[in-house]
Amino acid sequence: MKKYLLLIILSLSYTQELDLSLDWTMADDVFYSQQLDSIIENQISNLSSIKGIIVIHKGKVVAENYFNDSSVDDIFHIWSVTKSFTSTLIGQAIDMGYITHPSVTLDSIFFENDYTNQVTLDNLLSMTSGWPENWYYMYTNNIINVLLSTPLGTNPGYIFFYNNAACHINSYVLLETTGLNPKEFAMEYLFPYLGFGNPNWGTDYDGVNNGSYDLYLNLRKMVKLGQLYLQDGVSGDNQIISSSWINDATSFKVNTIPDFWFPWDLLPGYGYLWWLPERGYLAYGYGGQFIVVVPELDLVIGTHSTDNEGFNVYYLETLLGVIYDDIVPLFDRPSLVINEILASNSLCCTDENGEFDNYIEIYNYGADTIELGGYLITDDISDPENFYQIPTGNDSTIIEPGGFLLLWADEESGQGVLHVDIELSDIGEQIGLCMQDSTTIVDLVTYPAQANDVAYGRYLDGLDSWQNMNPTPGMSNTSELSINHDQISPEQFALHQNYPNPFNPITTLHYNLSEDANVNITIYDMMGRVVSNLVNSQQIAGYKSVQWNATNNAGQPVSAGLYLYTIEAGKFRQVKKMVLLK
């Protein structure tokens, strides 16, 4: 009965989490998409060893890119990321009662000698066993007896020493306590809940799975371990591993010591086979196989790298630097965006005094209530001394999740806290929203010249896709524009995210033409084959859209999957992705 204890305990008391046995879903285009795509294109794609990167925010894929002849289906050696899977299996065995506690000494599991009565499971998991490395452990007969009988080099529990052979003893702990090889145990209690199927996992001379490396997965599957930890060990309605183990495994156990393999200070701490950088925790495999988890941001990032360069310190530092210094901060800011701007309010909408004031609409796309009081608003981002600080106005400056707040840009702050000392120009300018420190930019928008009573807003709310539209102050934006689109020319060419996305079977593609041009819009599959030549015509400048009904050039329905759509208009080129569901 105790085998099933973990999967029964508390399973009814948890709210539904993402079912990790299913494939990932793609997020709709979000406001940071262009910035994230730019970082990946300019700082990741040109790295010599990078093969793939996936970014998962709030349980959905917000970016996924493959390089150097790699693809979503590539199965690769995850190297020492395997260790974090081993840690998880040990945690499950403890949850199920096969192992009493990490503090048990190894003589209670194997046999007693001068070493096993000193070394604990905690020591094995935190790389503080005191045993030296054995580079031949995978090819030595009866290796467990060899390892357990090896004299200690240092006292257990004090000095961090990265040791594959000692970590491999964890596999024998599982075998001895559960009666199952690590893969057998995982195939029953872990892998099915992550949708793994039957992955390849190498074994030692005696047929026991390598506890340190030799597990093979694709990138989408590898990062599911990070998401499982982010979800406190829950997949769907099943508690796969206890939240207490996750907290224990990712808590500080020992300071790392830079050596030949790790000559930098980016990873200063270690847990139970998880690295502890300054934020969150990290599974790290040889060559640059990473699972980055930042719980407070609901963020998981995975990378696949070629292992040709091994411990190329420059590459590893560069890749981790981009992740932690550039990608992670995109998600570490208030969930606020400038959502709509009306800079020429003639007869559209009035404030509480009946005046036709211009306005800036702020939207909270997040899950937390935000107090806007204290934030700074400006129409000159280069002059912090003249930023206007929004006063706190009891409940009037609070934005609920999914809510909107109007700032009247009338230079009459005496009329109330929502009236700001900014006057919008109808010929276009830049508006910035900053945090109280005046240096952290929350959002920065440049809007074009506006006609009377025509707003410039995001469609859909919060997305990085802008267009002229009918004003919708304090409400969700609309794609409708009552006047002729061609009376207003956009400031620049643009291809927007299709909507809806994912879709079945019809979606709409919006695009902007800043001048007359011959326009080609083409749909491709992921093999680069033309699916549909959607547009091929000379068009005048304006705001345009076209629908695709998921058929090819022969009029036949196409299969579900990921597709690319491109626009060519004069010298302008842009590519975006969309997902067809069936």
240 and 388 both lie in a single domain: no
Tell me what the mean pLDDT of segment 32-38 comes to. 80
Highest mean pLDDT among 75-79, 353-357, 473-477, 483-487: 75-79
Is there a cis peptide before residue 505, judged by omega within 30 degrees of 0? yes
pLDDT for res 38: 86
270 and 325 both lie in a single domain: yes
For 310-366, what is each residue's pLDDT tens digit? Answer: 678 889 999 999 999 999 998 888 889 999 999 999 888 888 888 999 999 999 988
269 and 161 both lie in a single domain: yes
- Measured at the CA of 562, the angle between CA 559 and CA 564, to 5 degrees, comes to 110
Phi, psi (rounded to 5 degrees) for 135: -70, -10
pLDDT for res 13: 37
Lowest mean pLDDT among 24-28, 123-127, 372-376: 24-28
Phi, psi (rounded to 5 degrees) for 170: -60, -35
**Burial code of 309-320, b = ≥16 C-beta within 10 A, e = fewer?**
eeebeebbebbb
On the CB side of 441, CA atoms within 13 Å amount to: 14
Let me know: does 538 contact 570? Beta carbons within 8 Å: no
CATH number at residue 197: 3.40.710.10
305 and 341 both lie in a single domain: no
Q: Please determine, for residue 208, whether its predicted confidence score (pLDDT) is greater than 90.
A: yes
- Give the separation between CA 554 and CA 532, rounded to whole angstroms: 8
- Going across the sheet that includes 299-305, the strands are 60-66, 50-57, 299-305, 289-294, 281-285, 275-276, 269-270, 254-255
Higher pLDDT, 541 or 250: 250
Tell me what the mean pLDDT of segment 43-66 comes to. 95
pLDDT for res 382: 84
Lowest mean pLDDT among 93-97, 306-310, 324-328, 538-542: 306-310
Lowest mean pLDDT among 80-89, 215-224, 558-567: 558-567
Let me know: does 400 contact 369? Beta carbons within 8 Å: yes
165 and 102 both lie in a single domain: yes
- Give the separation between CA 422 and CA 379, rounded to whole angstroms: 7
Side chain identity, residue 370: I
Give the DSSP H/E element, type plus range, for residue 535.
Answer: strand 530-539
Q: Model-level pTM?
A: 0.71
CATH number at residue 562: 2.60.40.2550
pLDDT for res 17: 84
* Residue that finishes a domain, picked among 314, 330, 346: 330
The residue segments making up the domain with residue 182 are 2-330
Number of domains forming the structure of the chain: 3
Task: Give residue 419's pLDDT band: very low, low, confident or very high (50, 70, 90).
Answer: very high
403 and 548 both lie in a single domain: no
Tell me what the mean pLDDT of segment 522-531 comes to. 91
Task: Give residue 192's pLDDT band: very low, low, confident or very high (50, 70, 90).
Answer: very high
CATH number at residue 376: 2.60.40
* Residue that finishes a domain, picked among 454, 488, 522: 488
182 and 203 both lie in a single domain: yes
- Residue in 22, 26, 18, 19 with CA at minimum distance from that of residue 580: 26
| CA-derived radius of gyration, the chain | 28
Tell me what the mean pLDDT of segment 388-400 comes to. 89
77 and 214 both lie in a single domain: yes
276 and 374 both lie in a single domain: no
446 and 307 both lie in a single domain: no
Let me know: does 52 contact 67? Beta carbons within 8 Å: yes
Q: In the predicted model, what is the mean pLDDT of the chain?
A: 90
Higher pLDDT, 452 or 324: 324
pLDDT for res 509: 84
316 and 389 both lie in a single domain: no
* Residue that finishes a domain, picked among 330, 351, 385: 330
471 and 368 both lie in a single domain: yes
Let me know: does 298 contact 57? Beta carbons within 8 Å: yes
